[in-house]
């Protein structure tokens, strides 16, 4: 598990960030940055580099490997520190609070700002980088990429999708993005998987989710990973989140992915609410959403 570095930020000095940025730069060329190249990349002299390495190693912001040569690379904590510094310099946030959710591919924390926000760090590839490389389209054509690259591309893709969809689609309002992290609106409500809907609410909530999927398609995106774990339900309606794997509608597999999304979400309702969920022709429903005929799609739900 990646540790929250927010509490360490006040201890870090300008030179520490020079070293972290230098290692980040060097990692564009190799997974481990040779110790001899650090003065050039960080613009620090050798003595300063040695001092800063000790400080950053003590705080687990970098790690070392000594085999053919002594090399260094950032840990995710070090990458988090760089993103946090940028958000602070931009006055995007002024503090990090309690965790909101920790998963295999992201960590989400409360962010203190002019209003309650959420800070999301992408962790794609942290535990199983090779599998993520195969599955994620934005890394599928790259033979040699670190998990930092994978996570950054995921954050960029998610932020781009949110900017395109908000506010027409009920998604978290995007605020800022840097490296593998993004800041967005903090969601209210409860995850669909944890919600206990009353009998009379089931069809209405399913209808709302399908409407958001239809609007997203009309605005140019398919979520491509819809499930009960990325929909929030509240008294205001539903919010669809987690968009890093989304694809544009011009993608060759967009209709197939939309049909899979429909299958996933309808299947969840059928399993959890078998008596309240009507029988649905899922393929016909997906086709109606593609044709922007949501009123027709209602007939299937």
Percent of the chain scored above 70 by pLDDT?
90
Given 94, 107, 207, 225, the catalytic residue: 225
Q: What's the mean pLDDT in 90-103?
A: 93
**CATH number for domain 190-298, candidates 1.10.510.10, 1.10.10.10, 3.40.50.410, 3.40.50.150:** 1.10.510.10
Kindly tell me the sign of the dihedral angle through the C-alpha atoms of 129, 135, 138, 143.
positive
Q: 80 an active-site residue? A: no
Q: What is the mean pLDDT of the chain?
A: 91
Give per-residue pLDDT as tens, 100-155. 998 779 999 999 998 999 999 999 876 544 344 444 444 444 444 578 899 999 99
Tokens coding 11: 């201890």
Give per-residue pLDDT as tens, 194-208. 999 999 999 999 999
Q: Are 118 and 109 in contact (CB under 8 A)?
A: yes
Q: What is the pLDDT of residue 135?
A: 42
Tokens coding 279: 């029988």
CA 155/CA 152 separation, integer angstroms: 5
Closest CA to 13 of 33, 42, 40: 42
Strands (E) across 36-173 are located at 62-66, 70-74, 95-102, 106-112, 117-122
What is the DSSP secondary-structure string of 179-199? TTEEEEEPP-SEEGGG----G
Give the CB-side neighbour count of residue 88, counting CA atoms within 13 A.
Answer: 12
CA 174/CA 165 separation, integer angstroms: 10
Rounding to the nearest 10 degrees, give the CA dihedral for residues 168, 171, 173, 177. -120
Is 60 exceeded by the pLDDT of residue 169?
A: yes
Domain extent listing, the chain: 6-77, 92-185, 190-298
Name the CATH topology of 6-77.
Arc Repressor Mutant, subunit A (1.10.10)
The model's confidence at residue 213, banded by pLDDT at 50, 70 and 90, is very high
Closest CA to 118 of 179, 177, 191, 76: 177
Q: What is the pLDDT of residue 142?
A: 47
The model's confidence at residue 294, banded by pLDDT at 50, 70 and 90, is low
What is the DSSP secondary-structure string of 238-282? EEE---TT-EETTSTTHHHHHHHHHHHHHHHHHHH-TTTSPP--H
The CATH number given to 92-185 is: 3.30.200.20
Which region holds residue 281: left if phi is over 0, alpha if psi is between -120 and 50, else beta?
A: beta
């Amino acid at each position: 598990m990646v540790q929250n570095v927010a509490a360490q930020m006040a201890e870090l000095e300008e030179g520490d960030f020079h070293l972290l940025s230098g290692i980040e730069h060097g990692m564009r060329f190799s997974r481990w940055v040779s110790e001899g190249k650090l003065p050039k990349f960080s613009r620090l002299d050798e003595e300063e580099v040695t001092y800063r390495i000790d400080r950053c190693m003590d705080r687990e912001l970098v790690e070392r490997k000594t085999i053919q040569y002594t090399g260094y690379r950032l840990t995710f904590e070090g990458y988090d520190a760089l993103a946090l510094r940028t958000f602070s310099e931009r006055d995007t946030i002024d503090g990090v609070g309690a965790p909101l959710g920790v998963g295999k591919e992201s960590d989400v924390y409360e962010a203190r700002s002019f209003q309650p926000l959420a800070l999301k760090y992408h962790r794609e590839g942290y535990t199983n980088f090779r599998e993520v490389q195969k599955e994620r389209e934005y890394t599928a054509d790259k033979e040699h990429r670190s998990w930092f690259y994978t996570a950054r591309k995921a954050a960029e893709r998610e932020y781009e999708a949110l900017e395109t969809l908000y506010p027409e689609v009920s998604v978290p309002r995007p605020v800022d993005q840097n490296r593998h992290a993004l800041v967005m609106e903090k969601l209210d409500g409860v995850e669909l998987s944890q919600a206990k809907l009353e009998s009379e609410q089931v069809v209405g909530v399913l209808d709302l989710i399908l409407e958001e999927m239809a609007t997203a398609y009309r605005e140019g995106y398919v979520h491509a990973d819809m499930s009960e774990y990325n929909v929030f339900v509240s008294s205001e309606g539903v919010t669809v989140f987690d968009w890093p794997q989304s694809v544009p509608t011009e993608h060759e597999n967009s209709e197939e992915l939309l049909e899979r999304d429909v299958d996933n979400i309808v299947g969840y309702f059928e399993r959890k609410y078998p008596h309240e969920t009507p029988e649905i022709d899922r393929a016909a429903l997906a086709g109606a959403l593609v044709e922007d005929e949501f009123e027709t799609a209602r007939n299937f739900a």
